[in-house]
């Protein structure tokens, strides 16, 4: 999670919502990135999507079996769907997202028994630091102390 948090900090420095992700393969190969929606003008350029795409391209396979995904914020519907489609078996996320989180907050797409893949979840790892980064980022953007909860796409 430390590397995902470092990616989130890098994203914040670049004006992106501070969300970082790290996808680790069974052999220890790791893919790390942060949100880049503003940088590349792409609403799908969330950290999770970027590491999933990078790993699939490098491995030449869309199935990322036996990988673990670490993310600093609970994935949204798009990212949760991609996690299921990529068959990632384990997800560890830091901060819950009560407005857009689809891994337990609003719904739990990654553990929906109607789907053909079930993801093991671990939550709260690094939550204090991830939450602090998000609060500080949005407080700076709003010009005040800012304690409102936020979504993974940056909406209040």
Please list the active-site residues: 48
CA distance 126 to 12: 17
Residues 152 and 76 sit within 8 Å (Cβ to Cβ)? yes
What φ, ψ does residue 80 adopt, rounded to 5°?
-60, -40
What are the CA-CA distances from residue 135 to residues 18, 21, 138 (Å)? Answer: 10, 18, 5
CA distance 15 to 35: 10
The strand ranges marked E within 1-134 are 20-24, 30-34, 68-73, 90-95, 120-123
Nearest to 119 by CA among 134, 102, 106: 102
Q: Roughly how many angstroms between the first and final C-alpha of the chain, as a whole number?
A: 25
């Amino acid at each position: 999670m430390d590397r995902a948090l470092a990616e989130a900090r890098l994203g914040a420095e670049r004006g992106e919502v501070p969300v970082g992700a790290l996808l680790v393969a069974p052999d220890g190969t790791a893919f790390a990135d942060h949100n880049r929606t503003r940088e590349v003008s792409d609403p799908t350029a969330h950290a999770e999507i970027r590491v999933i795409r990078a790993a699939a391209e490098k491995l030449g396979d869309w199935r990322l079996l036996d990988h673990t995904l670490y993310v600093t914020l609970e994935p949204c519907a798009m990212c949760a769907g991609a996690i299921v489609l990529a068959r990632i078996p384990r997800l560890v996320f830091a901060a819950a997202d009560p407005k857009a989180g689809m891994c337990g907050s609003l719904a739990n797409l990654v553990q929906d028994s109607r789907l053909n893949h079930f993801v093991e979840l671990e939550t709260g790892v690094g939550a204090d630091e991830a939450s602090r980064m998000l609060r500080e980022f949005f407080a700076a953007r709003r010009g005040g102390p800012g304690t409102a909860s936020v979504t993974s796409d940056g909406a209040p």
